[in-house]
Every structure is written in structure tokens, then in C-alpha cells.
Amino acid sequence: MRAVPPAGIARAAEWAAARRAPLHVHLSEQPAENEACLRTHGVTPTRLLADHGALGPRTSAVHATHLTGDDIRLLGGSGTVVCMCPTTERDLADGIGPARDVQRAGSPLSLGSDSHAVIDLLEEARALELDERLRTRTRGHWTAAQLLRAATADGHASLGWTDAGEIETGALADFTTVALDSVRTAGTLPRLGAETAVFAATAADVRHTVVGGRHIVRDGVHQLVPDVPAAMAEAVARLRRS
């Protein structure tokens, strides 16, 4: 809401609707954003989106950390996806969003990473559950399978890709394998692979990554970039020199 005027919101929503395209918007990440919107427009950012036709199943509200009860009802009632970014909120001290409340209201949940502090969807999935435990002081809000779905198939859907999430004919061949023999996962039972992935593994335990049927990472080695750490270090060095 700090970057787009109301007329621009309506225009973007109309453009996306006409093309059946996904629409992503950063929403109520910080209290200051809400306060500025209330000062300027007299409504919360969520209400401003609703008033200009920007909510709905093809819209993803990213962050959604500081919501009122009315905001939660607007998001859930419209089926707007909420994309939680737990490691980003933690890194920036932005707070813990009401993930369980928006889901109960009707919003599907997906997971994302909005910073470079951590890029690990397994950690995002784990953090969603653990943050909710801190917020509510109760355990067991989502199963491992539900958390993995938020990190995978529901994340695909948030990006406008609905033909993923299953290994079957006609679906996108996008998947990863997670090692069950690392120092973090050793000794687990294969039938508890989902629980191990969410509550013990990290991105370092991903052995293979296949995108569109093509191996991008094989046995932990990137197939397109021979030395990933060196390439990243060089990219950072170029930025520092510029």
C-alpha cells in the first residue's frame, strides 16, 4: 500500500483478472504500514485491497503479519491465499502472523522467502508450526504433510501453476529428494520421512532437484553451475566493487 495508489490497485487487479494471472501483494508486514494506510485512506491495507477488487483466490497476500479481525474475515471470505514468510519476519523482528486464524477463515496457506537471510523452504515449514506454538502456547497446529504441501503444491498454485504437486502423467515433473542419512536425519524410519523433512532436515539435506523433468541438482551438485559458492562469492564481490 506504500507503493501503489488506489487507482493502481484496481488497474493491477483488472489486468490480472483479465488474464487469469496470479496477483501478489505485500500486506501488513509492519504496524507502520497499517498506520500510514489508516492515516491516508482511513482503512486498513486489507480493506483497501478489498474495496478495489484485489482480493480473491488468484491473489496472494504476502506476510499478512498484522491483521485485524475484519482483515482476517476479508481474506478468508474471499479465498485469498496467504503466503507466510516466517524466517523473514523473524529476521526483521516484524512479528508472528495469525496463520492459523486466516486458514480457519478460509485462506489457503503457502510459504515463501522474502529475504536472503535464510533460503530454505523446509525451515519455513518448520517455522510456521513453531512460531504458532510460540504465539498460542499450544502444539500441533499442522501435520508435517500439511506443512510440506504449503511449501510445495500450494506454493506452486500461488504462482499460478496448478499442474504440480503429484507424480503423475501430465503433471510438471518438479520435485526434490531429501536424504534420510545425514547427521540431522540419520536413524529415522522411512515412513516418517515427511516428519523428518519438516522437523529435522534443512536445505543441505536435499540430494536431488528436478525441474520440468531435468536434473538441476544431482547428488548435491548443481548441474548448471559447477562451483556455486565461488559463483555467489564473485557475484557479491562485483556488487561491492560497483
Tens digit of each residue's pLDDT (9 = 90 or more) over 215-227 = 999 999 999 999 9
* Three-class secondary structure of residue 107 per DSSP: coil
The cell 475484519 sits on which residue? 70
Residue 213, phi-psi category: left (phi > 0), alpha (psi -120 to 50), beta (remainder): left
pLDDT tens for 190-210 read 999 999 999 999 999 999 999
On whether the pTM is more than 0.85, the answer is: yes
| DSSP secondary structure code for residue 15 in this structure | H
Domains in the chain with CATH codes: 1-161 (3.20.20.140), 172-242 (2.30.40.10)
Q: What is the pLDDT of residues 73-112, one digit of tens each?
A: 999 999 999 999 999 999 999 999 999 999 999 999 999 9
**Angle at the Cα of 199 from the Cα atoms of 198 and 205, rounded to 5 degrees:** 65
Task: Tell me the mean pLDDT in the region 114-121.
Answer: 86
